[in-house]
């Protein structure tokens, strides 16, 4: 299952945005508060309960010059990778969340809509963080 969020444009340098995204605790600011519960984080990972009672765990992998990547933690319902790519363009940067998960066809069908909405919300909230 692959999901691409809508592209977002942030009024900041890509270095500043990527530094923010590389801190798991900061992801709480991107998640829609009305659909997330029990958020916890440390320097390497974060986890939260999404709407429907699904626990999602994100483990920080790496930061490059143009992206930050996370992978699924032990509490996640299926293995996945989340890549947040960012490209600088003068005074702003644009980006997108790219999700690749190894879910069964049934789980993929059930999860694709809510996950797409979640990633689009995260992109919008990132824009708001840097306003």
- Domain 2-129 matching CATH 3.30.200.20: the answer reads no
For position 20, what pLDDT does the model report? Answer: 97
Task: Using DSSP, state whether 119 is helix, strand or coil.
Answer: helix
What are the extents of the domains in the chain? 2-129
For position 55, what pLDDT does the model report? Answer: 85
Nearest-angstrom CA–CA distance, 83 and 97: 6
The tens place of each residue's pLDDT in the chain, 131 residues long, gives 999 999 999 999 999 999 999 999 999 999 998 889 999 999 999 999 887 678 889 999 999 999 999 999 988 889 999 999 999 988 899 999 999 999 999 988 888 888 899 999 999 999 999 98
DSSP 75: T
Integer-rounded Cα Rg, in Å, for the chain is: 14
For position 77, what pLDDT does the model report? Answer: 86
Which secondary structure element, helix H or strand E, spans residue 120, and what is its range?
helix 105-129
CA distances from 90 to 3, 11, 17, 61, 65 (A): 28, 10, 14, 28, 16
């Amino acid at each position: 299952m692959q999901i691409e969020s809508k592209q977002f444009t942030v009024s900041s340098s890509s270095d500043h945005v990527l530094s923010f995204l590389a801190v798991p605790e900061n992801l709480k600011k991107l998640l829609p508060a009305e659909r997330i519960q029990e958020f916890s984080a440390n320097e390497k990972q974060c986890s939260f309960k999404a709407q429907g009672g699904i626990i999602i765990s994100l483990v920080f992998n790496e930061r490059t010059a143009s992206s930050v990547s996370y992978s699924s933690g032990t509490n996640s319902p299926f293995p996945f990778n989340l890549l947040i790519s960012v490209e600088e363009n003068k005074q702003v940067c644009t980006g997108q969340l790219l999700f690749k998960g190894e879910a069964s066809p049934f789980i993929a069908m059930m999860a694709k809509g809510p996950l797409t909405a979640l990633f689009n919300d995260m992109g919008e909230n990132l824009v708001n963080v840097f306003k």
